[in-house]
């Protein structure tokens, strides 16, 4: 069983460099709104969605660092490592998937024009439970059944055979609209009461929706937006580090410095220097050892 799976887990995905995997990877995002790219296409990955990639597809973060999130993922082997696009492939023998079924699955997945889909209740359960049972080293028969269930639900979703409800209800859409507004007004001294009031919601209700949509508390999300705006100004303008801090709504230089390093794991000055020195992100070909090391580093949860 261990040879069939490359990696798996439930964690906060802090960064995702451009790379290609050994096998196929499936993510379920339960909290947070990510922005990931596959080859030359950038896709929003909202909470409640599933995201998958095939071994030949280059993918990674569109952000320098990821927003708050909680993801559950599994990476598993196909019959071999593919580095060129192919419309028909098989799966690792351990999974026991017949050639006929592999043909149906591979044709659907390789021809998909997008990689982010709203996850049905069954698909959410299958991914979350599969990861949970893999971490618990459960019986192989149970693991194999959960894996097949996940693939079946993913196929039904991608092929369009699922009647999937809208991603957000009316209240969540109202909160998301306000959060989009906040991106353009990060310098405003927002309080939790003012944020909730703008959405005509009680503070606790507002906070719970923001947590679902962003993976952060409202005030933590505001700090993250300010850091993202600071990164843009550091990259695109000649404003001083201090001027940028004030322009992004930070009351003091000390608070700005502390928050910026908390979210990016580097100082604003170092971030600007790196932007000037490195304008291109190289594609990484992840080996199995790379996967293990990356997963171990992410699990340490050193920074947000």
Confidence of residue 279 (pLDDT cuts 50, 70, 90): very low
Superfamily for the 5-164 domain: Regulatory protein AraC (2.60.120.280)
The more confidently predicted of residues 266 and 282 is 266
Confidence of residue 91 (pLDDT cuts 50, 70, 90): very high
- Give me the CATH topology for the region 170-265: Arc Repressor Mutant, subunit A (1.10.10)
Backbone angles phi, psi at 143, to 5 degrees: -60, -45
Instruction: Specify the DSSP class assigned to residue 91.
Output: B
> Of 49, 56, 41, 53, which Cα lies nearest the Cα of 283?
56
Check pLDDT > 70 for residue 93. Answer: yes
Tell me how far apart the alpha carbons of residues 18 and 192 are, in angstroms, rounded to a whole number. Answer: 36
Check pLDDT > 80 for residue 209. Answer: yes
pLDDT value, residue 300: 57
Check pLDDT > 50 for residue 148. Answer: yes
Average pLDDT, the chain: 87
User: What's the CA angle centered on 9, arms 81 and 16, to 5 degrees?
Assistant: 65
Query: Are the beta carbons of 50 and 26 closer than 8 angstroms?
Result: yes
pLDDT value, residue 206: 97
Burial of 83 (0-12, 13-18, 19+ CB in 10 A): exposed
Confidence of residue 2 (pLDDT cuts 50, 70, 90): low
The more confidently predicted of residues 100 and 292 is 100
Tell me how far apart the alpha carbons of residues 208 and 110 are, in angstroms, rounded to a whole number. Answer: 37
Report which listed range, 90-99, 179-188, 262-271, is most confident.
Answer: 90-99
> Of 202, 211, 114, 187, which Cα lies nearest the Cα of 154?
114
pLDDT value, residue 68: 74
Region 200-207: what's the mean pLDDT? 96
Of 15-24, 70-79, 122-131, the poorest mean pLDDT is in: 15-24
Task: Tell me the domain boundaries of the chain.
Answer: 5-164, 170-265
CB within 8 Å of 122: residues ≥ 6 apart: 149, 153
Residue 25: Cβ within 10 Å count: 21
Check pLDDT > 90 for residue 294. Answer: no
pLDDT value, residue 163: 57
Check pLDDT > 90 for residue 226. Answer: yes
């Amino acid at each position: 069983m261990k040879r069939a799976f490359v990696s798996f887990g439930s964690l906060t995905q802090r960064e995702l460099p451009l790379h290609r995997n050994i096998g196929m990877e499936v993510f379920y995002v339960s909290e947070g709104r990510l922005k990931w790219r596959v080859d030359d296409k950038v896709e929003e990955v909202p909470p409640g969605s599933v995201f998958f990639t095939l071994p030949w597809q280059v993918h990674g973060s569109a952000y320098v660092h990821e927003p708050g999130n909680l993801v559950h993922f599994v990476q598993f082997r196909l019959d071999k490592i593919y580095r060129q696009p192919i419309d028909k492939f098989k799966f690792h023998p351990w999974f026991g998937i017949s050639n006929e079924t592999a043909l149906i699955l591979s044709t659907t997945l390789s021809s998909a024009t997008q990689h982010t889909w709203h996850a049905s209740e069954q698909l959410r359960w299958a991914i979350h439970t599969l990861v949970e049972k893999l971490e618990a080293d459960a019986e192989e028969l149970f693991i194999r059944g959960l894996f097949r269930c996940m693939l079946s639900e993913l196929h039904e979703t991608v092929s369009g055979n699922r009647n999937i409800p809208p991603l957000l209800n009316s209240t969540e859409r109202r909160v998301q609209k306000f959060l989009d507004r906040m991106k353009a007004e990060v310098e405003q001294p927002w309080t939790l009461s003012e944020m909730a009031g703008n959405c005509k919601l009680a503070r606790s209700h507002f906070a719970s929706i923001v947590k679902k949509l962003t993976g952060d508390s409202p005030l933590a999300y505001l700090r993250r937006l300010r850091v993202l705006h600071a990164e843009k100004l550091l990259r695109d303008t000649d404003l001083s580090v201090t001027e940028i801090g004030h322009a992004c709504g930070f009351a003091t230089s000390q608070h700005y410095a502390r928050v910026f390093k908390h979210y990016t794991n580097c100082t604003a000055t170092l971030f600007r220097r790196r932007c000037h020195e490195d304008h291109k992100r190289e594609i990484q070909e992840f080996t199995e050892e790379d996967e293990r090391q990356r997963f171990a580093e992410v699990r340490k949860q050193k920074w947000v």
